[in-house]
Amino acid sequence: MTRKVLITGADGFIGSHLTEALVRAGYDVRAFVLYNSFNSWGWLDEAAPDVKGKFEVFAGDVRDPHGVRTAMQGCDAVLHLAALIAIPYSYHSPDTYVDTNVKGTLNIVQAARDLGVSKVVVTSTSEVYGSARFVPITEEHPLQGQSPYSATKIGADALALSFHAAFGTPVAVLRPFNTYGPRQSARAVIPTVITQIASGERRIKLGALTPTRDFSFVADTARGFIAALESDQTIGTVTNTGSGFEISIGDTARAIAELMGADIEIVTDEQRLRPADSEVERLFASYAKAEERMGWRPEYGGLEGFKRGLGETIAWFTQAGNLGRYKVGQYNI
């Protein structure tokens, strides 16, 4: 079992949950967080009591190859989650996405190759598939860059896998579908709906309502990373994780409202709409490969699992200390 693990993006939504899961699974964790002068570790400042103080923190920036190499020294494996992910922000600041997502990934795989790291798991996204041409979406689905964000993730995935092809670097690409759960940014639809309702709003502002998504609870996504790390069959390939269930954005909002006991009206907010050809209309994962090669399947799968995950997410967001972190009246890109 690989013991010393570097996780980039550990200060973020998924990264903080994964850091906690790795510590609980017995790994020696070095958490790579984005340097800032406030000495903030992001969500790791709020790590669970049974995890706090049981991981090492390295503050740096994945865009800097020297810091990446220093952070990786002495590590057996790397879970690379650090990225810019907000799609609307990528429309007007695409250069930062190239630097962080593409060059940052290059820095990771280059350092891993030079240092002889035994496993690198690179985080992809279901957005690389674009609007589904067939469902459920398998790993063989064509890649379609419908936003600058997704284009940089396509590039990062290809770059990482090229290091396996050219140099034998043990790279695996994990492709989670639409993760949600406690700590997620309000730029995502589920926290957007929950925080508006929890703040007393009943006219809920959203963008497009008809696109469907395969929402995966964050605990399942964290388990997927650990499964990818521990399986030799993921090396040199891409593996999807998802819930095996799709639901429209409109029906998602209505499901949240039902669970929160709220009677809502959904209104279209023009600034929340993507350009027409950029909107991904349908995402619905096949996780057959993950089940076959990693022994992974969702614990929050299907409609029942989705509602259970929503319940846990609502419970977290509706705690006053958590809700107070979000600027509910403002559109968060």
Q: Which amino acid is at 323?
A: L
In this structure, the strands spanning 203-206 and 238-241 are unpaired
- Reported as a pLDDT band with limits 50, 70 and 90, residue 2 is low
Domain chopping of the chain, boundaries: 4-179+217-241, 181-213+245-283+301-323
> What confidence tens digit (pLDDT) does each residue in 109-150 have?
999 999 999 999 999 999 999 999 999 999 999 999 999 999
Q: How far apart are CA 260 and CA 52, in angstroms?
A: 31
Residue 308: is it exposed, middle or buried by C-beta count within 10 angstroms (0-12/13-18/19+)? middle
Let me know: does 129 contact 177? Beta carbons within 8 Å.
Answer: no
> What confidence tens digit (pLDDT) does each residue in 180-207 have?
999 999 999 999 999 999 999 999 999 9
Q: Which CATH superfamily is 4-179+217-241 part of?
A: NAD(P)-binding Rossmann-like Domain (3.40.50.720)
Choosing among 3.90.700.10, 3.40.630.30, 3.90.25.10, 3.40.140.10, the CATH entry for 181-213+245-283+301-323 is 3.90.25.10
> What confidence tens digit (pLDDT) does each residue in 209-229 have?
999 999 999 999 999 999 999
pTM: 0.97
Q: What is the DSSP letter of 143?
A: P
Q: How far apart are CA 113 and CA 109, in angstroms?
A: 6
Partnered with residue 213 across adjacent β-strands are 247
